Structure 1
């Protein structure tokens, strides 16, 4: 049983005790408590359904792909994600918007995941506000 349904059961038991002692004020408060618990239960069900839908969408392989620069992307999302975090834990860890050019002689930029430290090497560097490479 869930915590909410257990709470409703306890409130019903307390209500029957209150009726036994004929305390109208206590009985009214218990009825109000039951109504609030019922609303909370409905909200909980709704949130669980939304969470399951979001989790399914996020964890679905059909919405995730590897772009030409080695970053993980989600369909209809311009954010770059770490491929290692996804492959290991199915976690979407955001990669930095700017790469670091480590060597002047090599035209390559390094993007380091702040969650796991994995590095993506790309020939493109990206503008802060765009995923389009800087020319």
Structure 2
């Protein structure tokens, strides 16, 4: 990826934040069920664009959080801090997502001045040429 513009983000700091999140998340030693429940909690949020039934989404998210609490309690009974550490991960992950979105928005605004790998452009819906805009 050739970025000759004044890229306004500290890429190394962002990358370090992602690596730090991943390593501290992995250190929790969650099993597949716990990771699945955590992922569901992350994905099922009422503040996403287009959500109309906020109360229903919040209700189901609360149930998922309770299921995660039960599962973590069973599997990590000797480590009661695991569940609270997981809850702390939610805003941290949201922040990383917002920062990633800001990076992608910058790429979308400056695509004409960049040379992006085709797969990167396709995955993140960034035009590679004027034809892509139509």
* TM value normalised by structure 1: 0.33
Greater relative CO (CA pairs within 8 A, separation 6+):
2
Higher helix proportion (structure 1 or 2)? 2
Higher strand proportion (structure 1 or 2)? 1
Greater Cα radius of gyration, structure 1 or 2: 1
